[in-house]
Amino acid sequence: MQVISTNPQVPVLSLEPDPITGSKHFRVYNFEGSRPQEADFLIPHRKDYYLIVFMRKGNSRQWIDMRPYIAKDQTLYFVGPNHVIVKEGTGKFWSTAIAFTKEFLALQENAGLRNLPIIQNPKHGHELLLEQDDILFVEDLLTKIMQSTLVPANGNKKCSPLTLR
């Protein structure tokens, strides 16, 4: 009889510090015609952080918790810590992603974010198809987030409260 482990070892990836702000708990990614690194293909992994991706245009495929997702244009994708992810597709994509840790959510000024449905994820989904008004809202929100992480607040060298060092 073959024994199968009920707790297989799946690598857990941590959020890398943002190269601009130095934050270890919040990061913005922009991809303009990028391709996933081939070294990451077909290797199951988990993240120890939240990741929300607005896919403007893309041609890729991935699995989240054993469910396949083919990238759709103008769609929001999201995962929380500990979901098993496998990248399968090789196409180019144009997207913006925000990544943040549990420590980021634990800050008093971010307390309201903890209760958002996309964070709580009561239906265990990972894909949200957007209507035109939703797309405009998401684009505006991402622009504001990017500006707040790049522009020093009040002329100080520190970034705005959105970033955590």
Those residues whose C-beta lies under 8 Å from the C-beta of residue 69, and which sit 6 or more positions away, are 61, 62, 63, 77, 126, 127
Given pLDDT bands bounded at 50, 70 and 90, which one contains residue 123? confident
CATH architecture of the domain covering 12-150: Sandwich (2.60)
Look at residue 84 and tell me whether its pLDDT is greater than 70: yes
Q: Where are the domains of the chain?
A: 12-150
DSSP letter (8 states) at residue 151? S
Q: Which residues of 52-63 are buried (b: 16+ CB within 10 A; e: fewer)?
A: bbbbbebebebe
pLDDT of residue 146: 86
How far is it, in rounded angstroms, from Cα 91 to Cα 49?
A: 25
If you average pLDDT over residues 12-32, what whole number do you get? 91
How far is it, in rounded angstroms, from Cα 12 to Cα 77?
A: 19
Look at residue 8 and tell me whether its pLDDT is greater than 80: no
If you average pLDDT over residues 129-136, what whole number do you get? 96
How far is it, in rounded angstroms, from Cα 102 to Cα 22?
A: 17
Neighbours of 110 (CB within 10 A): 17
pLDDT of residue 59: 84
If you average pLDDT over residues 77-84, what whole number do you get? 93
